[in-house]
Structure formats: C-alpha cells, structure tokens
Structure 1
Amino acid sequence: MSSKLDALIGTRIRESIEVKQQLLQSPHIETLRDISLAVAQSLENGGKVLFAGNGGSFADAFHLAGEFVSRFTMEREPLSSVALGGNNSILTAIGNDYGYEDVFLREIKALGRPGDVFIGISTSGNSPNIVACIEAARDLDITCFGMTGSKPCRMHELCDCLKVPSPCTPRIQESHILAGHILCEIVEHLRCDPEFEI
C-alpha cells in the first residue's frame, strides 16, 4: 500500500469538501437560487434553457440538458433544454467557415429566442466562444448566467455568475456539476411538483 497515494487521495477529497463548504455561504446560494427561478420562469412561459461549455464544461452542458429533457429525480414531462455544440456537422462547419470563437454564437442566434435562459459554463470565465455567445444572447433578450471559478474574468462583467470559490479547474468542475444538479432538482420541483412551496 502506498501512503503517498493515500495522502494524495485524502488531500483531493478534503479540497473538494472545503470548496463545497464555501459554496454554502453568501452569495453562492442566492445566485444559484436566482438562476433556478429564472430557468423555471422561462420554462413556465414556453422558453427553454440553453447550455454551452468547452472540454469538461462541454460534457457538463450535455449532462445537464439531458437531466432536463429526460428526468432528474421525478417522473414528469420533459423540460425544454439544449446543449449547444451537439451537432458535429454544425460545429465543424462553423469552426471551418467562421472560426471556433463563433461556434456557439451562431447556434444561439439560430436557436435562441427572447425569454430563453442561456447558461455558459467556463472554469476560466474567459472562453472566447462563451463570451461571444453571451454577448449575442443579450442582444436577443435572452437571460444569461454563468458558472465560473473565483478569478476575475470577462464573464463576470457580462452576466450574473455562480463563482465557485476556487482557482483550481478540477475543484471548479466538481462544484459546477453539483450546482447543476441542484438547479435541475429545484426547477423540477418548481415546474412539476404542485406540493412544493418556496
């Protein structure tokens, strides 16, 4: 048995726990509440929630859209959600014809409608294609939110963000999926559980 490996495992688990304990503080809970209420209201009004991210955040975007369209914790009707970048032909055509910075921007112009909610996921908060998408979405009267880390970034200037209190990419990603699951659960209850009161 390796004491070094055991120590590394323990350190990473403790780091993740510490970040999540900080998420229990203001303003993180309030921000997640506000995102959840905005998404629920958009769905109530016939809108949809759109997600986008790169790399691990791309996977998170698809994970969360899947929870909305399929189900999270309860049997219910599907909730309208799209993860941008899922069509490889669209992704590669835009990347080839316009550049990777425009891959989400052109999709949100095609799919987004006033009253929708866009959630950009970026650990750095400076991903050029997410920033461009937020700028385009705002012009389309789409409500925008972000999930980022703690470092000051461009996304913090453009929209309200859940700022995970860590500069470390793996710890940020772990908290993003936790926040995403909480978002799904809240929206599911608000939209589908008549006995749920806020």
Structure 2
Amino acid sequence: MVVNKHIQQHFKASIDTKLQAAQILEEPIATAARHMTDALINGHKILSCGNGGSAGDAQHFSSEMLNRFERERRGLPAIALTTDTSTLTSIANDYSYTQIFARQIRALGVPGDLLLAISTSGNSENVVEAIHAARERGMPVIALSGRDGGTIHTVLTEDDIEIRVPSESTARIQEVHLLVIHCLCDLIDRQLFGET
C-alpha cells in the first residue's frame, strides 16, 4: 500500500537523521547541558523562544523544567517567552513582531540567565533579535538550528553554543530538536540531582 510505504519512509528518514545528528551533536549537547546546569546552580533562569513548532519546543522545555522530566524533583526556573498572548500581541502591535522576544528579554533577563533560542532555519528575525537582546543583558545563548545555521549562526559568539541539526527538512530538524531538548532535560537532572 502506498500509504504504508510513506509511513515507513518517514520513520526511516527520522531515524537516519537522528543517527547522523547523534555523531555531530553529542559534544554541543553535553556542553549546553553543563552551561544550563551552571546557570541554575548559580540561581539563574533559562528563557526560551521560537516560532510555530519551535514555540512549542520552547514551551515543552520550560514545562519539563518547571514541573518535572522523568523523576520527582523540585521545579527549576525556566520561562517560555512564547506563551503570554497579551504581551506578544501588544509588542507586535506597538513595536514590531521582530521585537516580541527581545523586549521580554530586556525586561526579564539578568546577567547570568541563559537564552534557549530555537529556529529550524536559523533565519527567524525575532529569534535573532532575542539573541542580540540576550547579549545586551549578559546572557549566554544556546541555539537550536538546522540547515546551514542561517543568520543565527552568524550572530553567535564563542561564548554561545549552536546545536545545528544536519538536515534540510523542517520536519526532521524539529524531530531532532525535541530529542535534543529531552537530552538536555535528562542531563540537567543528572547533574543537579545525581544518577537514578
């Protein structure tokens, strides 16, 4: 059946992309988890942002931090900048859609906090502006991207970490981003609360 063939192709493409990404992204993920853990140990928070599916990923990350991942533990301070519709729409209306995350970062971020910036293409203008705002506030950036890294790749500094999925497919990039988020949550828990 043609439908079944397409389903198998999706699964195979996802598996292949994840296997390729595992080789390339192991070190950046481990480094990012250490930076996130250090920020939390030092009393800081993690702000996250993205658009569309990446907004969902930003929210997914913060919910795993604030509530729990796979073990009972206290909540960890994280804020998804994608959830407050009144704030998002007022900033978009009064200023520009490109500023919806940057203005929140300038208001909520403090030096030592960390920004998790998510964009499959690396070209989301509002995420790029968020990175600039984070830099102004003394916040390191962990960027989840794909393809060639886009504009985000060009604005990151040596203090930032890019976790770039080796794929041109938005669906495959998003699938790996979710896996990366789960890796980060697991590593943060292990570093903060020990092995289970």
| Pairwise TM-score range, normalised by the shorter structure | over 0.9
Unaligned residue ranges in structure 2 (runs of 5+):
none
Are residues 33 and 129 of structure 1, via their aligned partners in 2, closer, same or farther at CA, if it must alter by over 3 Å? same
Bigger shift: residues 155-164 or 14-23: 155-164
Confirm or deny: 8 A CA contact 2:58 2:82 kept in the other structure: no
Q: What's the offset of the Cα at 1:87?
A: 1.1
4+ aligned runs moved over 6 Å, structure 1: none
1:113 to 104, 110, 113: 110
In structure 2, what residue type is equivalent to 1:131? Answer: V
Partner of 1:162: helix, strand, or coil? strand
Q: Which residue of 2 aligns with 1:182?
A: 183
Q: What's the offset of the Cα at 1:105?
A: 0.4
Residue 184 of structure 2 is aligned to residue 191 of structure 1: no
Q: What's the offset of the Cα at 1:85?
A: 2.4
TM-score w.r.t. length of structure 2? 0.95
Q: Which residue of 1 aligns with 2:125?
A: 128
Question: Residues 82-141 of structure 1, C-alpha deviation per residue, up to 9 Å, x if partnerless?
Answer: 000211111110010001000000000011110011011100101000000001101211
TM-score w.r.t. length of structure 1? 0.94
Q: Which residue of 1 aligns with 2:10?
A: 12
Residue 148 of structure 2 is aligned to residue 147 of structure 1: no
What RMSD, in angstroms, separates the aligned Cα atoms of the two structures? 1.1
Q: What's the offset of the Cα at 1:40?
A: 0.1
Q: Which residue of 1 aligns with 2:19?
A: 21
How far apart in 1 are the matches of 2:182 and 2:149? 25
How far apart in 2 are the matches of 1:35 and 1:52? 16
Query: 1:3-152 to 2 correspondence within 5 Å?
Result: 3-26=1-24, 28-152=25-149
Q: What's the offset of the Cα at 1:158?
A: 2.2
Q: What's the offset of the Cα at 1:77?
A: 0.8
How far apart in 2 are the matches of 1:57 and 1:32? 17
Question: Residues 139-174 of structure 1, C-alpha deviation per residue, up to 9 Å, x if partnerless?
Answer: 211010100112241111223211101010000000
Confirm or deny: 8 A CA contact 2:149 2:164 kept in the other structure: no
In structure 1, what residue type is equivalent to 2:139? Answer: I
